Amino acid sequence: NKGGYEHYMQKEIHEQPESLTTTMRGRLIQGGSCKAKTVLLGGLKDHMKTIRRSRRIVFVGCGTSYNAALASRPILEELSGVPVTMEIASDLVDRQGPIYREDTAVFVSQSGETADTLLALEYALENGALCVGITNTVGSAIARKTHCGVHINAGAEIGVASTKAYTSQIVVMAILALAVGGDTISNQARREAIVDGLYDLPSKVREVLKLDNEMKDLAKQLIAEQSLLVFGRGYNYATALEGALKVKEVSLMHSEGMLAGEMKHGPLALVDENLPIIVIATHDACFSKQQSVIQQLHARRGRLIVLCSEGDAASVCPGESCRVIEVPQVEDCLQPVVNIVPLQLLAYHLTVLRGHNVDQPRNLAKSVTTQ
Ligand code: UD1
Ligand code: F6R
């Protein structure tokens, strides 16, 4: 049931205010006798001590689920103080990389059935790590085989391109960061700002969905391009990777997400007046660095599309040649949830305009159960 939409991907993009609300239901606690703003993840409460004491947290996933974990890494490191490392599931298995008893390994998977992620889980179980699942599918292999975990409760996702599961995964991992971080006086203000930000997030996503027509218009401009680059950093390095993944997998246009800090170490050679480049420059601690990236790209006559916070258009755009997409500003660790939405819309419209199958991209399957 596409609920009046033409495609599942379109429906799933537009239902994110609701799916995010469902994901958070019962997990944010505000008020009560102590008036503290806090969180509850029922599936992890008996394991929280072990997670806090672990020597390292290792995120494991593939594709979009890996990108969601990458978006959540900075806030988990900040609030927990535990080192967080990233593993693409197949690469961990290929390398037989070190996993120890003192590790907490977190397996992120929408379907809960991805073969690469399952193999990595079996490997981590053999090595004695505490294994935590973050999945959308109750009763899935990953939900059953992990020691504990969290269901993201985003509702069934049918379009092959993952959209609402991505934003719900990030929200669950932000709540995970709050849970692992625990209450300390020093981080109280930060924690409260994040909890307030989570409450407001569905309405901010509803606002950013109003960019639909603007993104369709941008898609019309990009329809015949061969290639598209996306630069991000900090919290939004993941947004760059995920935005590019969405564009390539459904619209079949070559697209790469890149860490803006690496620009001078190679990618800058690609810049000319023809190649479209999206730069994510919303307002956070990396903002001034992104402003200087934009200036350097502009100096090489780069064809820029800048995603920035509302009100920042004048300070990010060096010239009239640059196109600006303004999004509402939210707490930095939640900004990836808002920022991915226009890129999901762009990927969707590019695909429809280019005449490709949105919900069933060629060569891809929703659940990759083979290696
Ligand atoms: C649970 C109920 C939910 C109910 C809520 C009320 C289920 C599936 N969830 O949600 O319907 O409204 O209590 O208190 O019955 N798990 C794993 N690996 C995973 C994911 C989950 O082991 O990858 C385990 C968890 O550790 C937990 C159980 O599955 O034991 C349910 O997880 P989750 O649905 O996230 O728990 P609650 O949010 O407490
Ligand atoms: C991209 C996409 C894939 C999946 C990947 C992992 O839109 O859908 O990259 O994210 O195959 O799938 P799950 O999350 O089910 O393990």
State the distance from the centre of ligand 2 to the C-alpha of 90, rounded, in angstroms.
Answer: 13
Ligand nearest to the CA of 130: 1
CA of 214 to the centre of ligand 2 (A): 27
Closest protein CA for atom 7 of ligand 1: 138
- The residue whose C-alpha atom lies closest to atom 27 belonging to ligand 1 is 43
Ligand with smallest separation from the Cα of 118:
2
Is there a contact between 154 and 22 (Cβ–Cβ < 8 Å)?
A: yes
φ and ψ at 38, to 5 degrees?
-145, 180
Kindly identify the ligand whose nearest atom is closest to the C-alpha of 360.
2
- Torsional sign, CA 150, 152, 153, 157: negative
Of 153, 151, 118, nearest to 135 (Cα)?
151
- Tell me the β-bridge partners of 231: 258, 279
Tokens standing for residue 21: 């609300």
How far, in Å, CA of 123 to CA of 228, rounded? Answer: 37
User: Residue 299 C-alpha to ligand 2 middle, in angstroms?
Assistant: 37
Beta strand pairing call for 323-327 and 303-309: parallel
Residue nearest to atom 36 of ligand 1 (CA): 43
How far apart are alpha carbons 350 and 346 in whole angstroms? 6
Q: Which ligand has the minimum distance to the alpha carbon of residue 361?
A: 2
Ligand 1 atom at minimal distance to the Cα of residue 151? 35
What residues have CB less than 8 Å from 213, skipping those under 6 apart?
none
Phi, psi of 109 (to 5 degrees): -160, 125
DSSP 181-244: H---STTHHHHHHHHHHHHHHHHHHHHHGGGHHHHHHHHHHHTT-SEEEEEE-GGGHHHHHHHH
Residue from 66, 111, 340, 344 to probe ligand 2 pocket by mutation (most atoms less than 8 Å from CB): 111
Atom of ligand 2 lying closest to residue 114 CA: 16
With tokens 């994901």, the residue in question is 23
The model carries a pTM of 0.97
CA distance 110 to 122: 18
Nearest ligand to the CA of 139 is 1
Measure the CA–CA gap between 77 and 173, rounded to whole angstroms: 11
Distance 61 CA to ligand 1 centre (A): 20
Per-residue confidence (pLDDT) for residue 211, from 0 to 100: 98
CA of 41 to the centre of ligand 1 (A): 8
User: Residues 356, 360, 365, 367: what is their CA dihedral angle, to the nearest 10 degrees?
Assistant: 130
Give the pair of three-digit tokens for residue 47: 């394991």
**Hey, what amino acid is at 76?**
L
Could you list the mean pLDDT of each consecutive 10-residue stretch along the chain, which spans 371 residues?
94 98 94 72 96 98 98 97 98 98 98 98 98 98 98 96 98 98 88 96 98 98 97 98 98 97 94 97 97 94 96 86 95 98 98 93 82 79
Question: Could you tell me where the beta strands, DSSP code E, fall in 148-238?
Answer: 148-151, 227-232
Residues with CB under 6 A from ligand 1: 42-43, 133, 135, 138, 142-143, 146, 148-151
Q: Which atom of ligand 1 is nearest to the CA of 140?
A: 23
Ligand 2 neighbours, Cβ below 6 Å, are 62-65, 109-111, 114, 117, 161-162, 245, 249, 367-368
Extract the runs of DSSP E, i.e. beta strands, from 145-192.
148-151
Ligand 2 centre and the CA of 368: distance in Å? 8
Distance of alpha carbon 31 from alpha carbon 34, whole angstroms: 7
Q: What is the pLDDT of residue 267?
A: 93
Beta bridge partners of 327: 309
Q: Give the distance (Å) from ligand 1 centre to CA of residue 175.
A: 15
Query: Which pair of tokens denotes residue 155?
Result: 């509702």
Predicted-complex ipTM score: 0.99
For residue 162, the ligand 2 atom closest to its alpha carbon is 7
User: For 61-91, what is the HEC assignment?
Assistant: ECHHHHHHHHHHHHHHHHHHCCCEEEEEHHH
Quote the pLDDT of residue 37.
84
